């Protein structure tokens, strides 16, 4: 029994895991909702400067591109931070993205109705 | 009968269905939080990684709730593109539930959360569904024609808006579902902490809802696609073997026996 296999040392922890705190979750939710709101702002700007055809207008394109970026950003960062047990920001990003996705179509629809009925062009 | 627009805020319409979805989320969240506090009071606090599971369930539910109905036709060319479906397609609570379940499982795997969580979620899901269906009741096609005394009759404008016959009593199928969800909520609150196997409340609720939904689809008024069945019924039939197998497995392991000290662990291990 001279050639004992010495197991390799365990890998060092990737960083200190923090307990999940409500304040950090709220911060993550706030960041995600702010990103969603920014895409709505793009929609609003596009609606104000649209030129006739709404469906192919810049507002809708800006909203779609913005939403795609928010989707990728929130989900990737949310999952990475959650797995690293960052203390809640990642969880907040994921929750905020999902809740925002439910709210954005409602607010976007309202914005479109408001902008279109305000100008009376449709 | 129908009130698709709840209010008008400075020219911006607030849709009843969307408002009810928001209220459903808030109600479900409040009940979930109350359950967490109850467990803390009972000396069984829940690991705070549960919030990662909540996030996974929300993300999975939203994603599949939107994209789960994309496959409407077996001939793929007849389906809308995924982008069109994401923007304008109909939503499905059935695929949303499946997405939430898968999202929660994935999140638990990611953060290494081994405990069963179904008992925490089940009452909140039932309450959220009950509240959310109020929005459907007030804004969607109620159901198929009926001669029963509680049938609801739509005026010409309402009927035209939802594609129903005017002046004909219709099944209030969403009211049936609200009643089911409230009964399920009462049963779930009564049964919590009762079963030997933890986490089984959600499984039983999902099986019960699947059976109820399969039946209520016959009076819902959804499009019949083949053999007298609707798309949700085919979805449920596809999922039925999995649900039946799970319940039978836990049953054989004694998981639905009354909870006693020491039994929970052995029943759970037997079921796995």
What's the pLDDT tens digit per position in A59-77?
Answer: 677 778 888 899 999 999 9
Can you give the pLDDT of all 272 residues of chain B as single tens digits? 788 888 877 666 778 888 898 899 899 999 999 999 999 999 988 888 899 999 999 999 988 888 877 776 667 777 777 777 676 667 788 889 999 999 999 999 998 888 889 999 999 999 999 999 999 999 889 999 999 999 998 888 888 888 888 889 999 999 999 999 999 999 999 998 888 888 899 999 999 999 999 999 999 989 898 899 998 999 999 999 998 999 999 989 888 888 776 544 444 444 44
Predicted TM-score of the model (pTM): 0.82
Tell me whether B21 touches chain A (CB under 8 Å): yes
Nearest residue in B to A96, CA atom = B55
CB B61 within 8 A of CB B103: yes
**What pLDDT does residue B272 have?**
42
Nearest residue in B to A25, CA atom = B51
**What pLDDT does residue A54 have?**
52
- Please, what is the Cα angle at B43 between B39 and B47, to 5 degrees? 60
Give the whole-angstrom CA distance, residue B42 versus residue B50: 17
Q: Is the dihedral of CA B75, B81, B86, B90 positive or negative?
A: negative
Whether residue A83 and residue B61 make contact (CB cut-off 8 A), yes or no, is: no
Nearest residue in A to B62, CA atom = A98
Tell me whether A33 touches chain B (CB under 8 Å): no
Compute φ and ψ for B204, nearest 5 degrees.
-65, -40
A10-14, A111-115, B265-269: segment of lowest average pLDDT: B265-269
CB B94 within 8 A of CB B209: no
CA B205 to chain centre: 9
B49 contacts in chain A (CB < 8 Å): 20, 85
Nearest residue in A to B84, CA atom = A64
> In chain A, pLDDT over 90 holds for what percent of residues?
30
Tell me whether B6 touches chain A (CB under 8 Å): no
What ipTM was assigned to the predicted interfaces of this complex? 0.76
Tokens 């037997």 locate to B270
Whether residue B111 and residue A109 make contact (CB cut-off 8 A), yes or no, is: no
Token pair listed for B257: 């026996």
**What pLDDT does residue B269 have?**
46
CA B76 to chain centre: 27
Our CA-based measurement puts residue B15 at a distance from the nearest CA of chain A, in whole angstroms, of: 8
A114 contacts in chain B (CB < 8 Å): 10-12
| Long-range contacts from B87-90, C-beta under 8 angstroms, 24+ separation | B87/A64
* Three-class secondary structure assignment of chain B: CCCCEEEEECCEEEEHHHHHHHHHHHHHHHHHHHHHHHHHHCCCCCCCCHHHHHHHHHHHHHHHHHHCCCCCCCCHHHCCCHHHHHHHCCCCHHHHHHHHHHHHHHHHHHHCCCCCCHHHHHHHHHHHHHHHHHHHHHHCCCCCECCCCCCECCCHHHHHHHCCCCCCCECCHHHHHHHHHHHHHHHHHHHCCCECCCCHHHHHHHHHHHHHHHHHHHHHCCCEEECCEEHHHHHHHHHHHHHHHHHHHHHHCCCCCECCCCHHHHHHHHHC
What's chain A's length in residues? 122
Domain boundaries, chain A: 39-119
Whether residue A114 and residue B12 make contact (CB cut-off 8 A), yes or no, is: yes
CB A26 within 8 A of CB A92: yes
Residue from B5, B8, B52, B139 whose CB has the most chain A CBs within 10 Å, to mutate? B52
* Other beta carbons within 10 Å of A1: 3
**What pLDDT does residue A93 have?**
94
pLDDT: which is higher, B95 or A19: B95
* Averaged pLDDT score across all residues of chain A: 76
Q: What are the angstrom distances between the C-alpha of A47 and each of A43, A50, B200?
A: 6, 5, 50
B13 contacts in chain A (CB < 8 Å): 109-110, 113
Residue A107, pLDDT above cutoff 70: no
Domain boundaries, chain B: 5-41+117-271, 48-114
Tell me whether B61 touches chain A (CB under 8 Å): yes
Nearest to B49 among A20, A64, A109 (CB): A20
CA B43 to chain centre: 30
Compute φ and ψ for A25, nearest 5 degrees.
-65, -45
Residue from A78, A110, A120 whose CB has the most chain B CBs within 10 Å, to mutate? A110
Tell me whether B228 touches chain A (CB under 8 Å): no
Residue pairs between chains A and B whose CB atoms are closer than 8 Å: 73
Tokens 């898968």 locate to B102
Our CA-based measurement puts residue A8 at a distance from the nearest CA of chain B, in whole angstroms, of: 23
**What pLDDT does residue B194 have?**
86
**What pLDDT does residue B133 have?**
94
């Amino acid at each position: 029994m001279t050639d004992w296999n010495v197991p390799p040392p365990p890998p060092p922890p990737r960083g200190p895991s923090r307990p999940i705190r409500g304040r950090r979750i709220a911060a993550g939710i706030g960041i995600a909702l702010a990103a969603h709101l920014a895409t709505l702002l793009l929609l609003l700007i596009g609606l104000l400067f649209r030129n006739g055809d709404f469906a192919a207008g810049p507002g809708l394109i800006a909203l779609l591109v913005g939403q795609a970026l928010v989707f990728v950003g929130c989900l990737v960062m949310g999952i990475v931070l959650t797995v690293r047990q960052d203390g809640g920001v990642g969880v907040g990003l994921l929750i905020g993205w999902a809740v925002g996705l439910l709210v954005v179509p409602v607010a976007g629809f309202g914005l479109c109705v408001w902008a279109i009925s305000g100008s009376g062009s449709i | 009968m129908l009130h698709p627009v709840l209010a008008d805020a400075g020219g911006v319409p607030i849709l009843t269905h969307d408002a009810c979805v928001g209220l459903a989320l808030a109600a479900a969240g409040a009940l979930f939080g109350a359950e967490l506090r109850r467990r803390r009071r009972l000396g069984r606090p829940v690991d705070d990684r549960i919030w990662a599971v909540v996030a996974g369930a929300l993300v999975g539910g939203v994603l599949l709730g939107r994209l789960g109905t994309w496959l409407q036709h077996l001939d793929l060319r007849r389906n809308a593109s995924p982008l069109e479906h994401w923007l304008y397609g109909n939503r499905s609570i059935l695929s949303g539930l499946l997405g939430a379940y898968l999202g929660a499982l994935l999140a638990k795997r990611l953060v290494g959360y081994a405990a069963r969580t179904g008992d925490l979620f089940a009452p909140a899901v039932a309450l959220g569904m009950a509240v959310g269906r109020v929005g459907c009741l007030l804004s969607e096609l109620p159901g198929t024609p009926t001669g029963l005394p509680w049938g609801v009759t739509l005026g010409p404008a309402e009927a035209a808006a939802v594609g129903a016959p005017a002046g004909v009593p219709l099944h209030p199928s969403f009211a049936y579902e609200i009643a089911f969800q409230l009964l399920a909520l009462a049963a779930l609150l009564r049964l919590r902490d009762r079963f030997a196997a933890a986490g089984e409340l959600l499984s039983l609720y999902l099986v019960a809802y699947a059976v109820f939904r399969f039946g209520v689809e016959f009076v819902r008024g959804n499009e019949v696609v083949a053999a007298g069945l609707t798309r949700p019924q085919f979805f449920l039939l596809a999922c039925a073997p999995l649900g039946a197998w799970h319940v039978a497995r836990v049953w054989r392991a004694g998981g639905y026996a009354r909870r006693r000290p020491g039994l929970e662990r052995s029943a759970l291990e037997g079921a796995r």
